[in-house]
C-alpha cells in the first residue's frame, strides 16, 4: 500500500475512532491502524482546541462551573461517550477480581456496576472542577491546558498500542491496534505532547511536561496490570486509558505549589 494512501487512511481511522466527525472510513488493516494510533494525539490536540473554545466562550457568559459542565458534556458528545463507557467497563472488570475470560465477560455486559459508576462520577467531577479553574487563566494558557489534556489522553492509547503489548481477544478493536505502534512514533508523540504542555501553566513551564510524564507513567502501570489480569488490551481498556490520563493531566495542571 503506498505510504501516502496509508497515511490518509490512518488519518480517517484516527478521526472516526476518536471523534464523531462524519468522515468516511477508508481501508482498515493493521498497518493503517498503526498509523491511526500514532496520530491519536494530533486528533486529541485538535479536539482539545475545540473544547477550549467551548470553555472560553461559555465562560464569558456563564459561571466557571457551568462553563466547565458544558465543556465536559461537549467532550462526551464529540466522542460518543465511548471512552467513558470503556472506563466503566474496565473498572467493573478489574473490580470483580476475576481474571482472563471471566473478567472479559464482565466487560461485555451492557449494564454498569457500582465500581464503574463511582469511576465515572469521580472522573467527570475532577474534569469539571479542573476546567472551572482553567477558565480564569489567559486564553493561550487555557487553550494549551485543554489541548494538552486531550492530546495526552489519546497519546496514552498510542503508548498502549506499542509493540510487545498483546490483545486480550482475537477480534475487536484491541486485536486490530495492539502492537502496531513503533518506537519512533512513541518518541515523536511524547516530545510533541510535552512541548504542547509547556505554556499550560503560566510562570511554571516545567509543570505541564512533568504532569504529562506522571500521567503516562500511571497509564503504563495500569496497562501492565490489565495485561496481567486480562491477557492483553481491549477497546474498553483503550477508552479507560484516555479518561484516566486526561483526568490526571487536568488535575496536575491546576495544582499549585
- Is residue 204, in this structure, part of any structural domain at all? yes
Give the pLDDT score at 25. 67
- Is residue 12, in this structure, part of any structural domain at all? no
The residue behind cell 503516562 is 216
- Kindly report, residue by residue over 96-144, the tens digit of the pLDDT: 778 888 888 888 877 788 888 999 999 999 999 999 999 999 999 999 9
Which has more pLDDT, 107 or 86? 86
The confidence band for 244, taking pLDDT boundaries of 50, 70 and 90, is: very high
Q: What are phi and psi of 167, to 5 degrees?
A: -90, 150
What is the C-alpha separation between 18 and 225, in angstroms, rounded?
Answer: 24
* Mean of pLDDT values over 192-219: 96
- Is residue 83, in this structure, part of any structural domain at all? yes
- Is residue 5, in this structure, part of any structural domain at all? no
Q: Judge whether residue 1 has pLDDT over 50.
A: no
SS3 167: strand
- Is residue 193, in this structure, part of any structural domain at all? yes
Domain extent at residue 198: 41-254
- Is residue 184, in this structure, part of any structural domain at all? yes
Give the pLDDT score at 126. 97
* Structural domain total, the chain: 1
| pTM (2 d.p.) | 0.94
- Is residue 96, in this structure, part of any structural domain at all? yes
* Mean of pLDDT values over 70-97: 92
Q: Do the beta carbons of residue 158 and residue 35 sit within 8 Å?
A: no
- Kindly report, residue by residue over 134-183, the tens digit of the pLDDT: 999 999 999 999 999 999 999 999 999 999 999 988 888 888 998 899 99
- Is residue 239, in this structure, part of any structural domain at all? yes
If you average pLDDT over every residue of the chain, what do you get? 91
Amino acid at each position: 500500500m503506498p505510504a501516502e494512501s496509508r497515511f490518509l487512511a490512518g488519518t480517517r481511522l484516527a478521526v472516526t475512532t476518536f471523534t464523531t466527525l462524519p468522515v468516511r472510513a477508508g481501508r482498515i488493516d493493521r498497518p493503517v491502524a498503526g498509523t491511526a494510533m500514532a496520530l491519536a494525539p494530533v486528533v486529541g490536540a485538535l479536539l482539545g482546541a475545540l473544547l477550549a473554545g467551548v470553555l472560553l466562550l461559555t465562560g464569558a457568559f456563564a459561571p466557571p462551573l457551568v462553563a466547565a459542565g458544558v465543556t465536559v458534556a461537549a467532550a462526551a458528545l464529540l466522542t460518543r461517550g465511548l471512552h467513558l463507557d470503556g472506563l466503566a467497563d474496565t473498572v467493573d472488570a478489574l473490580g470483580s477480581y476475576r481474571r482472563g475470560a471471566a473478567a472479559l465477560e464482565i466487560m461485555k455486559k451492557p449494564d454498569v456496576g457500582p465500581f464503574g459508576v463511582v469511576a465515572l462520577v469521580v472522573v467527570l467531577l475532577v474534569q469539571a472542577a479542573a476546567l472551572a479553574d482553567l477558565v480564569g487563566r489567559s486564553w493561550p494558557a487555557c487553550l494549551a491546558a485543554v489541548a494538552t489534556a486531550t492530546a495526552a489522553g489519546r497519546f496514552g492509547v498510542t503508548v498502549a498500542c506499542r509493540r510487545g503489548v498483546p490483545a486480550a481477544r482475537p477480534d475487536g478493536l484491541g486485536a486490530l491496534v495492539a502492537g502496531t505502534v513503533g518506537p519512533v512514533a512513541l518518541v515523536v508523540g511524547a516530545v510533541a505532547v510535552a512541548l504542547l504542555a509547556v505554556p499550560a501553566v503560566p510562570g511554571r513551564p516545567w509543570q505541564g511536561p512533568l504532569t504529562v510524564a506522571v500521567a503516562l507513567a500511571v497509564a503504563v502501570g495500569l496497562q501492565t496490570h490489565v495485561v496481567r489480569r486480562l491477557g492483553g488490551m481491549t477497546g474498553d481498556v483503550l477508552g479507560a486509558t484516555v479518561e484516566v490520563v486526561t483526568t490526571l493531566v487536568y488535575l496536575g495542571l491546576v495544582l499549585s505549589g
